Structure 1
Amino acid sequence: MDDEDLVDVEIAHEAPDDISDAYTSEASEFPFHRLTVVANRLSAGQPDTELRSLSSVDEEQVKLLEHQVDAAHRALFEMDGKALLADEVGLGKTIEVGMILKEMHYRETDDSVLILTPAQLAKQWQGELREKFGLDFVCNYDGEFQGFDAHDRIISSIDTAKSDRYRHSVLSRNWDVLVLDEAHYVKNEDTDRYELIDKLTYDYAFFLTATPIQNELTDLYNIVSLLRPGLFGSRETFHHYFVDNGQDTLVNRNELQQRLHQVMIRNRRAETDIDFTNREIDTRTFQPSNSERELYEAVTDYVREAYSEDRGQKLVLMMLQKEVVSSPAALKKTIRKQLDANNELTHRSELETILEKIDAIETVTKQERLFDIVEEAREHVEMGRVIVFTQFRATQQQVLESLQEQGYTTHAFHGGHSSQEKEDIVDRFREEGGVLVSTDAMSEGRNLQFCNIMVNYDLPWNPMKVEQRIGRIHRIGQKREVFVFNMALEDTIEEYVLERLYHKIDLFQQTVGELSTILTRLEDSGKGFEDEIFERLVNADSDANLENDFEAMAVDLEEQQELSEKVENFNSAVFENFDLGATDD
């Protein structure tokens, strides 16, 4: 912000039709300033462009890096509260937004805030803002969520916000602040997502994406135009001036970067002093016992038959297929619940047979092999700290009991704990060491850099969830090499997912942002990643067909990964030599 910009004024303007007018003069848009910031400046007699809330940020919760502080400052005071935060993956764009929102809250300029994210990241945003910045938001997945007109600080999936149920109430409010994560989701002006953002009314906006360009340069135009209408003129003018021969060649790059400098902040890993530690992956597959093999085959046969007769119970059947490779305890709990709830249940005899096969299992192979890993940790790692992730509470309890019988110090973490209880559990794990066995409630919004070993006891079918687990320990602030152990039973759906899909795209070396790009492309067909896995399982009429189906899915993944890499290469070309600092007057 400059001193001469103290007047609150917003001038509507038409996009210039003449190319020379559009790209040889300063943008005609004047910013709309926060009244309280202006008042503070006037009372002080000089510009107030310091981040005054920095002193209130808990350094134990978040270590602020120079590029993050700079980005927050520029977004607020040089871009007047409308900025595209386009740092490369892993540099902490969420932290930058947290600092921005903390400062606005400090200055009382955030009466209503709407944060829109992909569904799988909504709860993570909520946890990060609460724990690192003391900012409380209600999430649309919370039980207390009562609608977009009932709360002033909301985090929601963008698809919930655009739904028929909520769209009207979202659009009827004038929001002080809009935050849009993964802004490339609105790159297409013909989608409902784009239309929602275009029609929203707000004073300040912060868009986040590591890939402002996904397919073509027009993606960038669409995203920026939502933030700063008119900055690039009309779509036709933009395309004619910056793109040559169907986007095979980028022209007038310097002019493009000068325009982008008014609205976009992009930091690169190579230009920061962040040193990410190595990540070592150790995948261990085990031959199941004969009784475990019989149980797996019985459950898979039942799931295929039941799904062919009633596709409405897809979620329950998918759950059974995941539980059978997690633990007999988890599977038994679900089947017993089904039998007790419905005396007229179809396939009752098959489910009772499965229960008998569960009871016939004397030794749980994964459980025995887990001892090998935690014993290695106890011998070689400070305080023997290991985090074991499972998707199921019954599996968690079974693993905890077996570890306790072997004399290990254990800690349980799950979604049923209160916020304070979760804090206490993490503190005890830090102080006492041992093994923390957690459900995926731990995979969102927790920083556990004091531990560097984790185990995927069972494997989520959603790659994003796997990376979120790993991200608890492999993140900025981790000083040691990180070890990730994956456990799977041979010749099961778990091994197919692990070996034929995840390792094909080198999942365990990807980041959340990179995975999001790959999965977004793959799911453009409307079918989710987990749905795709399940459909291939139930429709395969032989092991050979199932293997071929997964190979085909792996090829699709590889193609999307190659496209994602091409996008990043094109982004690099567009933003090469992009001026990251403030321009001189």
Structure 2
Amino acid sequence: MIIERSSEWEEGFIKRLENNDEWDSWTLYNMSYEVAKTNLITEFSGLQSPKYLPNLTPLTHQLEVAEKVIERMNGKAILADEVGLGKTIEAGLILKEYLIRGLVKKALILAPASLINQWVEELNYKFHIPAIPYKKNIQIENYDVVVMSMDTAKKSPHKERIYAENYDMIIIDEAHKLKNHKTKIYEFVQSLKKKFCLLLTATPIQNDVFELFYLISLLKPGHLGNYEMFQSSFSASKHNLEHDDYLKELVNQVMVRNRRQDTGIEWTNRHVQIIPIEFTKGEREVYDLILELKNVSTVFSSSFSMITLQKEMCSSKEATCLTLEKMHQNITDPDEAKFVEGIIKKLMSLEINSKAEKAYEIISQANDKVIIFTEYRASQIYLQWYLNSKGITSVLFNGQFKKNKRDWMKHLFKEQAQVLIATEAGGEGINLQFCHHVINYDLPWNPMKLEQRIGRVHRLGQENDVHIYNLAIDNTIEKDILDLLYVKLDVFEKVVGELDDILSAFKKSV
């Protein structure tokens, strides 16, 4: 087959030129002109995107966030609305706006694996943005909007593929996962070219003020100075700082945050309380023996292992026993081994779990759907057995479940079971507005984990008051956890702003 270059265009051009013919159809030109005129955006103020979104009716605060980020923050911002106010919708509006204006062509969304499908569905259905979930065999250069898990993105060869692309916008969901600047995911995001960048997190400070420094440094390097300058200017330590009003002003230049009470939406009430619990004599005896371990065996000399054991003892003997038996294998001294064996024997002879009994009491009085959050899978399994023995139906929810199983557990909880027993994985990515009671069976060191847990039920669409029960055993490490939680909450409120009650209805002065 012989392929030759066509000369038809040249012959037509010469003919029109010699005969002074029309160059093209005037009608078609006018039609083309009208289309171009209609699509022309004559000013940069105001949003164009809502009129192109028939499947979405944004709330007023969501429109205001999108407008503020585009007009005043140049497309680089932390979206820090409280849990349940629709940060995904805000990010979608901003992305759609830039796509319409022609300022963004390619976008990368990084999110936890459990939220990938949710992002893809919302972008496609609500925003008519053709986003695709990243899979290993996908050639990302052929797609303009890609949604990928953080864990995948930071690894080779995926990160190299991303670096090879010129993304106009980067969106990172659950951005508080970037709080540690020494992690691979932080280094990866830091290396990305970021013309426009959105960081989504309801909890920009989780444990200390430096987390916010590193988050803002990802977004706008130098906005708070370098580390030494930041530390010096604000006399900053983990849980304390000076000139917090000035710092708050700087933070608000790159962060948008709405509270539930600011939205103009009528919200149901949140009833929060700390439930004190007393150990039985037998439980207290074992707890005290565990405290003695650091003086008996070098295997238990590290503060981390001791703290873990104390927390587990406040949760269940099952969780405690697993750790003790694992550490017992590393003991070589016969006397030390005998001491640990004695603790295990006393531990397994306990017949009462005071905290589990209190949880059962709360569930019985609620006579409604209840979520229990525990930090240990051994406690999770024990609680399901214990509640079943009391005639209470329950389902489990943890991070080892694949998406289909997570969806099935959620369905069973809604339609059949009274209780959902979740590990920390249940505090992220699921919406359970049909439930109105949350038991924090184990308290985390991080107060924002509590906010995330509560946000699973206290969010848009919740029609009932929400009841939160924080269980804490007297004269144990849980008292220290409570004290530190209040300190961390104080730092959050100084820099970021007020927070709804998450520990009790009365804030402790620190």
- TM category, shorter: 0.5 to 0.7
Change in 2 beyond 3 A, CA 1:438/1:177: same
Confirm or deny that 1:276 pairs with 2:293: no
1:201 match: 193
Change in 2 beyond 3 A, CA 1:196/1:419: closer
Q: Tell me, what secondary structure is at the counterpart of 2:406?
A: helix
1:177 match: 169
2:475 match: 491
Q: Alpha-carbon deviation of 1:55?
A: 4.5
1:39-50 aligned at under 5 Å gives the runs 45-47=38-40, 49-50=48-49
Give the Cα separation in 1 of the matches to 2:442 and 2:222: 42
Query: What runs of 5+ residues in structure 1 fail to find an aligned partner?
Result: 1-38, 58-62, 117-121, 187-191, 229-246, 379-383, 517-553, 559-585
Residue type at the aligned position of 1:501: L
Give the Cα separation in 1 of the matches to 2:470 and 2:262: 33
Give the Cα separation in 2 of the matches to 1:315 and 1:50: 51
Q: Alpha-carbon deviation of 1:272?
A: 2.9
Change in 2 beyond 3 A, CA 1:196/1:53: same
Residues 284-310 of structure 1 show CA distances to partners (whole Å, capped at 9, x for unaligned) of 222211211111112222256657876
2:284 match: 293
Residue type at the aligned position of 2:169: V
Q: Alpha-carbon deviation of 1:335?
A: 2.7
Residue type at the aligned position of 1:204: F
| Equivalent residue for 1:434, pick from 418, 427, 439 | 418
- State whether residues 53 and 103 of structure 1, in contact with CA within 8 Å, keep that contact through their aligned partners in structure 2: no
2:90 match: 96
1:32 match: none
Give the % identical residues: 29
1:523 match: none
Residue type at the aligned position of 1:296: Y
Residues 317-349 of structure 1 show CA distances to partners (whole Å, capped at 9, x for unaligned) of 44322211100011122333444x657589433
Give the Cα separation in 1 of the matches to 2:79 and 2:416: 40
- State whether residues 449 and 473 of structure 1, in contact with CA within 8 Å, keep that contact through their aligned partners in structure 2: yes
- State whether residues 106 and 168 of structure 2, in contact with CA within 8 Å, keep that contact through their aligned partners in structure 1: yes
Give the Cα separation in 1 of the matches to 2:176 and 2:472: 35
Q: Tell me, what secondary structure is at the counterpart of 2:352?
A: coil
- State whether residues 432 and 456 of structure 2, in contact with CA within 8 Å, keep that contact through their aligned partners in structure 1: yes
Confirm or deny that 1:67 pairs with 2:61: yes
Residue type at the aligned position of 1:376: Q
| Equivalent residue for 2:355, pick from 351, 366, 369 | 366
Confirm or deny that 1:302 pairs with 2:272: no
2:341 match: 352
- State whether residues 387 and 454 of structure 1, in contact with CA within 8 Å, keep that contact through their aligned partners in structure 2: yes
Q: Alpha-carbon deviation of 1:454?
A: 0.8
Residues 410-448 of structure 1 show CA distances to partners (whole Å, capped at 9, x for unaligned) of 222122222122112212222235111111111011111
Q: Tell me, what secondary structure is at the counterpart of 1:411?
A: strand
Q: Tell me, what secondary structure is at the counterpart of 2:194?
A: strand
Structure 1 length-normalised TM: 0.56
Change in 2 beyond 3 A, CA 1:225/1:465: closer
Query: What runs of 5+ residues in structure 2 fail to find an aligned partner?
Result: 1-31, 42-47, 125-130, 179-183, 224-242, 500-506
Residue type at the aligned position of 2:286: L
Give the Cα separation in 2 of the matches to 1:389 and 1:249: 35
Residue type at the aligned position of 1:175: Y
Q: Tell me, what secondary structure is at the counterpart of 2:411?
A: helix
Residue type at the aligned position of 1:201: K
1:10-409 aligned at under 5 Å gives the runs 45-47=38-40, 49-51=48-50, 54-55=53-54, 64-72=58-66, 82-84=75-77, 89=82, 91-101=85-95, 111-113=106-108, 115=110, 129=119, 133=123, 153-154=147-148, 156=150, 174-179=166-171, 200-206=192-198, 272-303=263-294, 311=302, 315-339=304-328, 344=332, 347-378=336-367, 384-409=368-393
Q: Alpha-carbon deviation of 1:488?
A: 2.2
1:14 match: none
- State whether residues 268 and 462 of structure 2, in contact with CA within 8 Å, keep that contact through their aligned partners in structure 1: yes
Give the Cα separation in 2 of the matches to 1:222 and 1:417: 35
Judge which range, 168-177 or 354-363, deviates more: 168-177
Q: Alpha-carbon deviation of 1:203?
A: 3.8
Aligned length: 418
- State whether residues 108 and 170 of structure 2, in contact with CA within 8 Å, keep that contact through their aligned partners in structure 1: yes
Residue type at the aligned position of 2:287: Y
Q: Tell me, what secondary structure is at the counterpart of 1:430?
A: helix
Give the Cα separation in 2 of the matches to 1:363 and 1:474: 33
Q: Tell me, what secondary structure is at the counterpart of 2:168?
A: strand
Q: Tell me, what secondary structure is at the counterpart of 1:202?
A: coil
- State whether residues 99 and 133 of structure 1, in contact with CA within 8 Å, keep that contact through their aligned partners in structure 2: no
2:181 match: none
Judge which range, 425-434 or 86-95, deviates more: 86-95
Residue type at the aligned position of 2:59: L
1:509-524 aligned at under 5 Å gives the runs 514=497
- State whether residues 127 and 446 of structure 1, in contact with CA within 8 Å, keep that contact through their aligned partners in structure 2: no
- State whether residues 123 and 444 of structure 1, in contact with CA within 8 Å, keep that contact through their aligned partners in structure 2: no
Change in 2 beyond 3 A, CA 1:441/1:504: same
Q: CA RMSD in A?
A: 5.6
- State whether residues 390 and 457 of structure 1, in contact with CA within 8 Å, keep that contact through their aligned partners in structure 2: yes
1:463-474 aligned at under 5 Å gives the runs 463-474=447-458
- State whether residues 97 and 206 of structure 1, in contact with CA within 8 Å, keep that contact through their aligned partners in structure 2: yes
| Equivalent residue for 2:465, pick from 478, 481, 487 | 481
Q: Alpha-carbon deviation of 1:125?
A: 6.6
Change in 2 beyond 3 A, CA 1:303/1:103: farther
Give the Cα separation in 1 of the matches to 2:58 and 2:494: 20
- State whether residues 87 and 268 of structure 1, in contact with CA within 8 Å, keep that contact through their aligned partners in structure 2: no
Larger radius of gyration: 2
Give the Cα separation in 1 of the matches to 2:358 and 2:419: 15
Change in 2 beyond 3 A, CA 1:225/1:42: farther
